[in-house]
Amino acid sequence: MPRKGSAFAGLSVAIVTPFRNGELDQPTLRAQVEFQIAAGATCLCPVGTTGESPTLSHEEHERVISEVVQSAAGRIKVMAGTGSNSTREALRLTRWAAKEGADAALMVAPYYNKPTQQGFYEHYKAVAEEVEIPICVYNIPGRTGKNIEPETIARLAELKNITMVKEATGSLDQASQILCTTDLTVLSGDDSLTLPLMAVGGEGVISVVGNIVPGDMIALVKAFHDGHIGQAQTWHHKLFPLCRDMLGLATNPIPIKAAMQMLGRDTGELRLPMTPLDDASMAKLRRTLTQYGLL
């Protein structure tokens, strides 16, 4: 039986927000959209964690959503990052995404203020009842400080347009419980756990490494979907060092922006408090990219 968010199965890419001289680099952003369309990705996820949403102004956040939707022009789905630790702000951003034509909203769990489980439920319910586009619950306790428990996600699944979970707890038990108790589509929030998560019923990934090797991530997901388990394992093992470095050398999106700079696809600029990789980490990243065959 298809799950509620199966239209978003496959590879979604959490795209970076490019900067040039401290400002949004819109030509490079448009080039990213074209790169992913050409690769055959299912969906783009602008202004998430990888898109440096915490340091964008509200006006910039809205501008990136609009730019990506307009550039995509219906050729690829767009799941815009619209989460906040303020329910009022999350609602405003999600309304904006819906108005601009986004296909779905990626809403991170409220961070820093650490709501109760009832608070999480009321937060998502308030937005889901006001906006009609599908919503993906983004659960990443390592960033937000608190887990949305599977029982709470099961309650959220009863709301019509809560259709997906971006599962970034690192717990296959939690993912399994969600898959057992709901009809939500589960997407991996960690590149290196894509294959394990699909093995228990996940349908794809919202990927960081997909910024540079979307075709390879698509190949992994397709191989598993088609029942070619050995082939999927081969892709998993090939991709693992790259996935490890993107999240292990420093906080995301520092390594992916450095990699894109090395590949001539981004300036590599970050906004404080994000700072560039140190020399040792840059050398390690260059070795990994070289060994992978990208440099």
- What residues act catalytically? 138, 166
Q: Tokens 């756990």, residue?
A: 193
Q: Is the dihedral of CA 257, 262, 266, 268 positive or negative?
A: positive
CA angle 101/53/97 to nearest 5° reads 15
11 touches 169 (CB < 8 A): no
Convert 108-121 to b/e letters by CB count within 10 Å (16 or more is b).
bbbbeeebeeeebb
Q: Is the dihedral of CA 103, 211, 48, 207 positive or negative?
A: positive
Name the nearest CA neighbour of 136 among 96, 174, 189, 86: 189
Rounded to whole angstroms, the Cα distance separating 232 from 149 reads 30
CB atoms near residue 147 (< 10 Å): 18
Rounded to whole angstroms, the Cα distance separating 60 from 54 reads 11
Residue 191 amino acid letter? D
Joined tokens for residue 67:
């730019």
